[in-house]
Structure 1
């Protein structure tokens, strides 16, 4: 994919903000550039996908694992909707990154809220790591019990 000069210039602006620790501003700028890319080129355009991925990576740098996981999943879904194969390097990378960020979540509510979407992606994009789909299923089942622990009186 050819990267045009304006994209590189815009990406440098986002990176500079992130390098300064100004993550909220960096994410807002990436979202604004994505909106512009969608307006000019369409929702599924390569330009829009690049900005979705830039937002996801910036959220990762900011330590916002929930947002990073959600946005990486969006990037994968857009790539799949564009007709890219579930075995393409870019789609696999987006799903793997979403999965990795999801693994970092500690709130059972967030784990279970994102699990169905991640399971759906893992069915379409199994990735190269054996057992990734089952790992999502196991973790989400465990977190259900963390959310609703059984008391001794019900056991």
Structure 2
């Protein structure tokens, strides 16, 4: 059973829904979810907010927050998750913003730097990850980690 299948099973059991707000993964989380037949029962929409303007317009991330912290930051990932949850009227959201490479990295935020955030009933969590590999590998590791933690968080609910 894939992580997305496990996610769907948990959400169906709880009669809950999920959404995703993605930057560097460009819709790969949504693709993993919609690969599952019947996922429309627990996934209505997702958001690919690659550009900062998209984060502002679609997810309600403030321009000031982007200027102060940058797109690849904990506050922005958290705001993306909260904004996606609100916009999709979903119970759960996962958001990712990072530098998949091969360009775009810096000393402070090297390639592979990814901020993830999850929100849901009683949950507001974020995590900084540093993944290794090329662009495709960084993106795939991000998707797998995003879904795995979401499954853990939902599975831990009473």
Could you tell me the TM-score, scaled by structure 2's length? Answer: 0.27
Could you tell me the TM-score, scaled by structure 1's length? Answer: 0.27
Q: Which has the larger radius of gyration?
A: 1
**More helix as a share of residues:** 1
